[in-house]
Amino acid sequence: MLDRLPLPSQFDRVIMVGGAIVGLAFAPVLIALVVLLVVDQISAPELVFWLAFTLIVAGALGAVLLGNVVHAAMSLVVTLLGVSAIYLLLGQEFLALAQILVYGGGVTILLVFGLMMTNAADDPVVSDGSQKPFAAGVAILLGVIFAAGLLDASWGDSGATAISLQQFGARLFDGFVLPFIIVGVLLDVALSGALLLARPDRPEPTSEEAGR
Amino acid sequence: MIPLENFLLLSAILFALGFYGVLARRSAILILMSVELMLAAVSINMVAFAAYLDPERFTGLIFTLFIIAIAAAEVGLALGIVLRVFRERRTAMVDEASSLKW
């Protein structure tokens, strides 16, 4: 039933219901983490990490499992904002800001526009492909292999070092000027190409115009 | 202090979820969203490695910035293609655009 919430005229209702569900679901996690913090089992950064961890994984689950495409897109926003919290936790303020601006703003809006003009125009609820069990098996296998490989190695026990905006800019424009320019050209070409592709076809010239 | 392994675990989970989405979804735009999840997973990995293991040169951070820019270009272009396909065939499902499947 939740999949059939009306769109987009009552978009605020979607957000309210979604927010209430998310809040109720995360209240136990938050309480458990705060209790752990109070009894000194975890430090404050770890509290933030596990909160962001829960948000990211839950948002990603919603983004790949929800049937309603717009709800899936909203769920993706939760994940991307959680990733930005992870960047902040690692001391990378510039990347966190860029993440919120580019992903939380631009990319998500683009995706929602795309959904509105394709799927959601007919029916916001889509069914997944028939290869779901296969996909789940492969994804679990891949995740286990990656996790095992990454956790198996010993990485030393140094902490995260915050990198200031000045350092970041100096490094970017000192060693990576050419890639920076190439990325700028790439963005220009890609977005012009997207405009060209998505533009409606020109109507055929009428005989009057052709004879002119 | 948070051990580096926590971030690696998070990125592995996120990557696997995105991979599941790419394989299981039928709508082209939902597949794009899953690709974004995988890109975010790789970015977390690179940022964590840069901040923990290479704080002098932090090349991983620069790469993450490029990933963000290129992901934006990719989404814009792919949406243009999806809209085009939708206009021609009235569908945005990847398994219904099967002219090349013989």
Q: What is the pLDDT of residues B28-40, one digit of tens each?
A: 889 999 999 999 9
pLDDT mean across residues, chain A: 83
More confident residue, A134 or A209: A134
**pLDDT at site A4:** 61
**pLDDT at site B96:** 80
Residue A201 forms part of a structural domain: no
Judge if A84 and A180 occupy the same domain. no
- Looking at residue A48, which CATH number applies to its domain? 1.20.120
A125 strand-pairing partners: A68
Judge if A61 and A114 occupy the same domain. yes
pLDDT mean across residues, chain B: 89
Which of A69, A107, A127 is opposite residue B71, by nearest beta carbon?
A107
A68 strand-pairing partners: A125
**pLDDT at site B34:** 94
How far, CA to CA in Å, does B77 sit from each of A42, A160, A194, A197, B14?
Answer: 44, 36, 5, 8, 24
Domain end (from A103, A126, A149): A126
- For A65, other C-beta atoms within 10 Å of its C-beta total 15
Tell me the nearest-neighbour CA distance from B96 into chain A, angstroms.
11
**pLDDT at site B102:** 66
Answering whether pTM is above 0.90, one says no
**pLDDT at site A210:** 55
Q: Which of A104-108, A121-125, A152-156, B23-27 has the lowest mean pLDDT?
A: A121-125
Domain boundaries, chain B: 8-89
More confident residue, A120 or B47: B47
Judge if A6 and A103 occupy the same domain. yes
CATH no. of B8-89: 1.10.287.3510
- What is the tally of structural domains in chain A? 2
Average pLDDT of the residues in B63-89: 89
Judge if A89 and A185 occupy the same domain. no
**pLDDT at site A6:** 53
Alpha-carbon Rg for chain A in angstroms: 23
Residue A87 forms part of a structural domain: yes
Which of A1-5, A18-22, B38-42 is modeled with the greatest confidence?
Answer: B38-42
**pLDDT at site A2:** 58
Segments in chain A forming alpha helices (H): 11-38, 44-65, 69-89, 93-98, 108-117, 119-122, 132-152, 165-175, 177-198, 207-211
DSSP conformational letter for A101: I
A126 pLDDT more than 80: no
**pLDDT at site A1:** 53
Q: Which domain holds residue A184?
A: 163-195
Judge if A18 and A115 occupy the same domain. yes
Judge if A171 and A117 occupy the same domain. no
A197 pLDDT more than 60: yes
Decide: A125 and A68 in contact? Cβ < 8 Å: yes
**Which residues in chain B (8-37) have CB-CB distances under 8 A to chain A?**
8-21, 23-30, 32-34, 36-37
Per-residue model confidence as pLDDT tens digits over A76-125:
999 999 999 999 999 888 999 999 999 888 888 888 888 888 866 667 77
CA A133 to chain centroid, in Å, comes to 24
| B8-29 b/e (C-beta count within 10 Å ≥ 16 → b) | bbbbbbbbbbbbbbbbbbbbbb
Q: Which of A212, A29, A196, A78 is nearest to B81 (CA)?
A: A196
Q: Confirm or reject contact between B101 and chain A (CB < 8 A).
A: no
Decide: A118 and B82 in contact? Cβ < 8 Å: yes
Q: Confirm or reject contact between A98 and chain B (CB < 8 A).
A: yes
**Which residues in chain A (42-71) have CB-CB distances under 8 A to chain B?**
43, 45-46, 49, 53, 56-57, 60-61, 63-64, 69
Judge if A107 and A167 occupy the same domain. no
- Whether B84 sits inside 8 A of A98 (CB atoms) is no
Judge if A118 and A23 occupy the same domain. yes
Residue A202 forms part of a structural domain: no
Residue of chain B nearest A138, judged by CA positions: B20
Judge if A107 and A168 occupy the same domain. no
A139 pLDDT more than 90: yes
B90 pLDDT more than 60: yes
Which of B26, B27, B54 is the best substitution to test chain A (most A C-beta atoms within 10 A)? B27
